[in-house]
Structure 1
Amino acid sequence: MATTATSAAHSSSSNSMLAGLVCTGNIHLVIGTNPLAASRCTQALAAGAQPVLIAPQTAELHYGLQSKIDDGSVKWQQKAFEDDDLFTLGRAEVGNVVDAVFVTSGPREDLTAHISQLCRRNRIPVNVVDAPHLCTFALLSVHTDGPLQVGVTTNGRGCKLASRIRREIASSLPQGLGQACARLGDVRRRIQEDDCLALGDLDDSLDQGALFNKLVAEEDVRNRRMRWLSQACEYWPLKKLASVGDEDIDRLLATYPGLGNDTGRKDGGGGEADEPKVGKLILAGSGPGHPSLLTRSTLHAIHHADLILADKLVPAPVLDLVPRRTPVHIARKFPGNADRAQEELLEAALAGVRAGKTVLRLKQGDPFVYGRGGEEVDWFRGRGLGDRVRVLPGVTSALSAPLFAGVPVTQRDVADQVLICTGTGKKGKAPTPPEYVASRTVVFLMALHRIDGLVRELTTHMAPDPDAEPPCASTRAAEANEARPLWPPTTPCAVVERASCPD
């Protein structure tokens, strides 16, 4: 059951704490006989609780209440409310104290305020209709789809508005997302169960060296699967997640234990035919994130490609432009698997082109600005694709992000040059920091996750890594580093993230 914890002294400047309560077996007291009382009973039953209705025998019951009483799902105490009901109708394991109280009769009755005060004094959660000042919790307006629940609250500012917002959110979610949550949750559970079984079979004897090494390798594979699952949940478009089926789940569990290549699927192309068709590869940048910032050439390629291989950072609004008939593969890149994921995409693209398909390799930003685009072009041309490789430019975030943040990268009498750097080098190592030039704007890409280290490198002379270069080169690097002008700590800077995205 989704709730918000509120307070009688709730201030206009504070919000509630949202919580999902496990109510299985709880006793919920419902006071009132109107349609809202029937709704509260329905909500309690959906959460696994047992609703108990308090109302005199002569009360006129709503038909929804009457039907639930008739089928036995709601228990009816045919009497007026008494204070002892809070302490005698609950579960034995909690001293017969009820777990929650819903008052549906309205805030203007004296009994309503009395029940609220009694519940708050005894720390019993209480909800009173249309009276936030008498409540210690409130129910959210909830959309439920299987295990997926989306709740909205306006913190007592308008139930109708909360319902409207909830409907708008629910209508934007793809069909089948709840089933996808169940399937992906099943994958997570199965991976965890595999871990438990493997660890349970491990003998403590140090003589089992071969077995131990085998289990260590298998554990690394399971960690890779779990990391990939986390990355898929975070970066895949919701429509793609909603389309995940049982076959996709089985494929995931089957391919990752062997770290095999699954590019030979229906949309990855098969082997070469006796007379291969002439395919082509398009390497394109999707720009800084917003679909309206795509080039017309890239949009045309998205609409007409036979196969699309996308980086995980390509945002969902761009992938939503892909026709439903076009298969899309998203890079399974996560820490420790980036190189392998890159190989999978390259091999899938090569297989697709050799099968006569138009393959779109879709990247974020501009493919030749820290996008490994040059490496990919060399890789494909080195395997015989030649002029069948076409590169389309994209708007790089190195220039668009400052613009969205209102920072001109060049301006007369302020900055007459621009330097674009990476904040993360190969294999995650720190790159050589640039020297400080007062008239130069420096843009760092892929640096947010290590911004503390970057600031230290710019403002201090760091000791060189002795393992990074030969001794003579390391000595020269150290000398150059000592001579490098340091950045003043007062240098103006801006951190820009997802500037062109709706969120």
Structure 2
Amino acid sequence: MKLYPLFADLSRRAVLVVGGGVVAERKAAALLAAGAQVTVGAPELTPRLQRWVRQGRVAHRAGEFSATWLDYAWLAVAATDDRTLNARVAELAGLRRVFVNVVDDAELSSFHVPAVVDRSPLVVAISSGGAAPMLARRVREQLETLLDHSLGPLAQLSARLRKRIRRRHPELAARRRFYTELFTGPVAALLRKGQPEKAAAAAEQALRTVPVEQAGSVVLVGAGPGDAGLLTLRGLRALNEADVILHDRLVSAEVLELARRDAERIEVGKQAGNHHATQDEIHALLLGHARAGRRVVRLKGGDPFVFGRGGEELEFLREHGIPYEVVPGITAALACAAHAGVPLTHRDHAQSVRFVTAHCRESLDTLDWPALAQERQTLAVYMGVAGLDRLQQRLLAHGRVPSTPFALIENGSRANQRVVIGTLADLPERATAHMVRSPALLILGEVAGLAERLAWFGAPPLDEPAPVPSRLRPVQTAQITREPVRRRA
């Protein structure tokens, strides 16, 4: 179940809690802290709930549950130990379009109460959709250690200054830079030291300072092979500081999800046969956004400097005086090999590795085939799915033995990773039979023979030819023999 995250303003709004035990008491306490007008319905109440009723903090409906208890309620919580009663509360609440939470029953609940890290007014909520509440609590414990308690005062200070910050910095890019400095610079440091007065004075001084016009810049960031966990920390920071993100078509949605929500995203994936025109368009976008004072992230799959044309883009930026930096990424050869259990080098099998691209006939013609065909080395072939037959023919023609192992890794490091293994002799046929599609990387050499034994991620390698679909099998015709017709006597 995927829940829609929502923070509800319950201040002065009626909420019903059905149940009078310890669990109901805990739910009522959290609702009171949010400013809700809480009514507790139950025949009996805990001593603490009774005290809250006497103090006028909580209203009490005695006796057995009635549908009228839901009148005027914005939310309801069923916190009894009677599942039948909880189900009835959930059913009647649903008929009245009142969101209901049934404690420890995700199926009956129309809203879930998350685990919370409270740095008010900054609040972090964690939910597993009711599937694994103990895991959500575990994540909460980890976040409690990561998020400093000074974040609460920092959020309050930011709220007090918000309107003045908008007036002082009407341009969005300038306002982002001010907030970045506010949240990471001297003001935040003073709050961590427990010096709120000095922090407020430093924030006032920052607001009075005449801003220096910021020049735009470009950061080339390697997004890695697709698994968001393989993005570097510097890459993550760049994505969260970006005003504009120009990303390749193969950058995964999981990586893009890590970027700041209000950054402009522009897909600039290149199409076959139009590379030069598309690269010119990318250059124009980089230049235009940087000259407008924006911080641009050029997000590339893998590593920008391994078949990513990052060098061409830096040459263009330098020629036009645009500041730049590079954040390397994990290139596909490293990631795919690791996730397929194939070491690129091995003392017994390969003392060198070559990165090769073979996406078209012209690129194949420029390669040193006698050198590539040598044994005891590993070939990592990028963008080669469409040319596997030509690759096979040339390697065999220059002496590579047909029994050389290969591992063809599709969607390496991603949840849908597939690994097809075999030998050079049947490489194109295996790829066709298993319908391997881009993005895929070919590892060819003695080390690929370790794929089946060392595999650890995803499904086991496919080491047999794929079965031919029944509709493509040749029709088997039976041999029909006719016996001679016998005449009656």
With normalisation by structure 2, the TM-score equals: 0.45
Report which of the two structures shows the higher radius of gyration computed on alpha carbons.
Answer: 2
